[in-house]
Structure 1
Amino acid sequence: MTSGKDPNRPSVLGGPTIILVQPQLGENIGACARAMLNCGLTELRLVKPRDGWPNEKAVAAASGADPVLDGAKLYDTTAEAVADLNVVFATTVRTRGMIQEFVTPRVAATELRAHVDAGHKTGVLFGPERTGLVNDDLTLASTLITVPLNPAFSSLNLAQAVLLIGYEWFQTGEIPPDRVLHTGQTRPATKAELVNFFEHLEGDLDRTGFFTSPEKRPSMVRTLRNALERMQMTEQEVRTFHGVVAALTGRRKGEP
């Protein structure tokens, strides 16, 4: 397909951040950047790309989507890549035995549009080409996106997945949101604030002997984090829960 660039047409830009976790090939990153710009998405974050960054093969595959690549940000961990975001969706083809809400790309796009219109910082996680996201990455998301395709063959490459989500996002541009999260005088908690609370809670649960089996601790932690993620807490609610945990463990305000 030939280039669709037209300097005489207005650009429609803005939307959720796209986060690629451990992408393997520079060509795949470039193809994702091309898919993003087709849909007006410009903010790309990369978590430990296998072949390093910057990558000349990514530029060639981007077919002119250089602004996306030029603005790409590099991170060491998924948690760092989503730390400043209020709302994170993640793509997966497997349930992995976790209790989380699953939506189609179309539903996800509508909900993302509502959050963006409300001023919330949003993002969508995509996993490595061969394995997808691991459970610890999925716990950073409040909602999982799964694509209803042919059950006998539902394989998508990375750029196809990004384009599919981006396309559904782009189609919501003229549709008023069905719902907007109103948070009063506060705001949705960032992922960094949530992870800080998770670590506070898990530390106190360790001290009080809640985790009786070291082997089961990781799965129990993921269960707790998934349940709390689905609450979509505000910054004020996170601070309140910090106080609740401190009170239940007998610590006074200001104590370590």
Structure 2
Amino acid sequence: MSREKQGREEIAGGRRMARRDGLAVLGPAPLFVLVEPQMGENIGATARGMLNFGLSGLRLVNPRDGWPNEKAGAMAAGASIVIDQTRVFESTAAALAGCQYVLATTARPREALLPVLEPAAAAAEMKQRIGRGETCAVLFGGERAGLSNEDVMRADGIVSIPVNPAFASLNLAQAALIVAYEWAKADGRAAPASELDIAIPAPREDFERFFDHLVAELDKAGYFFPEAKRANMERNLKVAFMRAGLTEGEVRSLRGVIKALASQRGGADK
């Protein structure tokens, strides 16, 4: 791919990832800009976390060990498409060219008078802006000292991750992963539903037959005592089972349990 085409694809921006190696096209997303990262392993881990959560646009400002970086590629573990599209710049200003909205991640409050957002709020703001066609970027500082005051002042706001104030230093890749995760949520990617989440409750008639069966066997066992409390006891049981939202399979299983217990009781009576 030519450098010019690569630049167009990425600035359309961090926003889109061409199909390659069976990976689907991703939707618009923020760019991640790592300023003076030191370790290739952290760059690779950042790339991996980005692709996990649907981002592909990575920019580097003066990486200490140069670029490309073999350790970054190895650590990316399958996210080579992010590594391959990574662009390198000599200054933060150059890396932010074309961006309309920029956030800076930092754990240290500064006298910048910039809005301070937690990751979820930051992601929601970027989602809204990207939806309007803006290009957004998130700045991450290097491992040794984080972002300089000058770089923070290039931002429109600060992303502050609520860490333990007594131990506030986050690894570069960890900070990037948190922001990427919140972006994925803001972008509408929820955890896949489990079978329990998508199970359909049993038809009402099946539930009623199950409950009548239960009441009949409890009655034989002398459960409803004293008789004056019977109506209230039945109502409480029914409400409890209704709240459970039992599926057809669960109703069948419970009826089998009732039959088994009744059979055992009948044997004991004999």
Taking structure 2 as the reference length, the TM-score comes to 0.60
Counterpart position of 1:64: 78
Counterpart position of 2:59: 45
Secondary structure class of the residue paired with 1:88: strand
Of the two, which has the highest radius of gyration?
2
Secondary structure class of the residue paired with 1:161: helix
Q: Which amino acid aligns with 1:154?
A: A
2:140 to 126, 130, 134: 126
* Residue 142, structure 1, aligned to residue 152, structure 2: no
* Residue 84, structure 1, aligned to residue 126, structure 2: no
1:85-127 residue CA offsets vs partner (Å, 9 max, x unmatched): 1000110011132221111000000000001100001100000
Counterpart position of 1:163: 177
Contact 1:30 1:62 in 2 (8 A): yes
Instruction: Determine which structure has greater relative contact order: mean sequence separation of CA pairs < 8 Å that are 6+ residues apart, divided by chain length.
Output: 1
CA distance in 2: counterparts of 1:118 and 1:96, whole angstroms: 30
CA distance in 2: counterparts of 1:62 and 1:172, whole angstroms: 24
CA distance in 2: counterparts of 1:90 and 1:40, whole angstroms: 20
1:16 to 21, 30, 42: 30
Q: 1:151 to 1:168 in 2, by over 3 A?
A: same
CA deviation after TM superposition for structure 1 residue 9, in Å:
8.7
Q: Which runs of 5+ in 2 are unaligned?
A: 1-20, 190-270
1:10-67 residue CA offsets vs partner (Å, 9 max, x unmatched): 6644300000000001111101000100011000000000000001010000001000
CA distance in 2: counterparts of 1:72 and 1:10, whole angstroms: 18
1:133-171 residue CA offsets vs partner (Å, 9 max, x unmatched): 001101110010011122222221011000000000000
Alignment of 1:1-256 (within 5 A): 12-174=26-188
Q: Which amino acid aligns with 1:78?
A: T
CA deviation after TM superposition for structure 1 residue 8, in Å:
8.4
Q: Which amino acid aligns with 1:70?
A: D
CA distance in 2: counterparts of 1:10 and 1:52, whole angstroms: 30
Structure 1 segments of 4+ aligned residues over 2 angstroms from their partners: 7-14
CA distance in 2: counterparts of 1:63 and 1:20, whole angstroms: 19
CA distance in 1: counterparts of 2:163 and 2:87, whole angstroms: 32
Contact 1:11 1:40 in 2 (8 A): no
The CA RMSD measured in Å over matched residues stands at 1.7
Q: 1:138 to 1:10 in 2, by over 3 A?
A: same
Percent identity for Structure 1 against Structure 2: 47
Q: 1:40 to 1:107 in 2, by over 3 A?
A: same
Secondary structure class of the residue paired with 2:187: helix
Matched residue pairs, number?
169
CA distance in 1: counterparts of 2:60 and 2:27, whole angstroms: 20
Contact 1:14 1:42 in 2 (8 A): no
Q: Which amino acid aligns with 2:87?
A: K
CA distance in 2: counterparts of 1:33 and 1:129, whole angstroms: 16
Q: Which runs of 5+ in 1 are unaligned?
A: 1-6, 176-256
